[in-house]
Amino acid sequence: MSDQNNQEPLLQVHGVTRYYGDRIGCHDVDFQLWPGEVLAIVGESGSGKTTLLNCLSTRLAPTAGAIEYRMRDGSMRNLYELSEAERRLLMRTDWGFVHQNAADGLRMTVSAGANVGERLMAVGQRHYGKIRETATDWLDRVEITVDRIDDDPRAFSGGMRQRLQIARNLVTHPRLVFMDEPTGGLDVSVQARLLDMLRRLVSELGLSVIIVTHDLAVARLLSHRIMVMRHGEVIETGLTDQVLDDPREPYTQLLVSSILQV
């Protein structure tokens, strides 16, 4: 990517709205995401954060609005004007998606090495030895011992599965990664280890990330900027430390003080 493109948004979101019948999923959301920026979307259950994430990642078509993405050639394209084949190619190459339940993002019946290697094959790599070498390197980077490369994920703990899912997503060096509650359901000690690893990898690779979480500690640790959602609308946004240390909106103040359980 050119220096000029680094000074321009990677993603531009204009008035994104999604209805489920008469019910609002998310309403009139606008923001920009910059190269290398981590944005956390927070709010209680039902706030619209997952609906928004699914719209942004093209898993769910918005009712209204536009989402523009800067392609590798520097052009801005409306994601919902891309062909299905173009969107699939983005998902296999330029994007990653880390699910809360790692089983949703892995093939549970093939080996750990094959889970990582499949993603490499999707971007055109064919040399078995090089694919296995890269998979081995990535298992090491996500703190999975190399002697587990031929084990399938059903034999892994929850934390190991999540680390494997992250390796599968990052091996192709995507520019944008979506994360849906990546530490949800894990023990506190396992969460801490995973978060440390995520923060290191995001920094090393210069990734742009949009992370949905109900855990403000996760948002503080990983994100540069935060958006607070309630009833489908963004009610407060700003630099993460500013919003969490000095929230303006009463709802955000409740979130921060943990009076409101999320």
Tally the residues of the chain. 262
State the pTM of this model: 0.93
Residue at 40 is within a domain = yes
Task: Give per-residue pLDDT as tens, 215-227.
Answer: 999 999 999 999 9
Q: Is the pLDDT of residue 260 over 70?
A: no
Q: Hey, which bits of 138-201 come out as E strands? A: 176-180
Same domain for 231 and 113: no
Domain for residue 99, yes or no?
no
The DSSP output letter for 154 is G
Burial class (CB in 10 A: 0-12, 13-18, 19+), 101: middle
How many structural domains does the chain have?
2
Average confidence (pLDDT) over 42-55: 94
* 124 and 232 share one domain: no
pLDDT reported for residue 6: 62
- Residues 231 and 132 grouped into a single domain: no
The two beta strands, 225-230 and 76-78, are: unpaired
Same domain? For 120 and 215 the reply is no
For residue 5, name the pLDDT band (cuts at 50, 70, 90).
Answer: low
Q: How confident is the model at residue 93 (pLDDT cuts 50, 70, 90)?
A: confident
- Same-domain check for residues 22 and 152: no
Q: Which domain holds residue 136?
A: 106-173
Domain match, 86 and 211 both: yes
Spatial distance between the Cα atoms of 206 and 123, rounded to a whole number of angstroms? 20
**Together in a domain, 169 and 186:** no
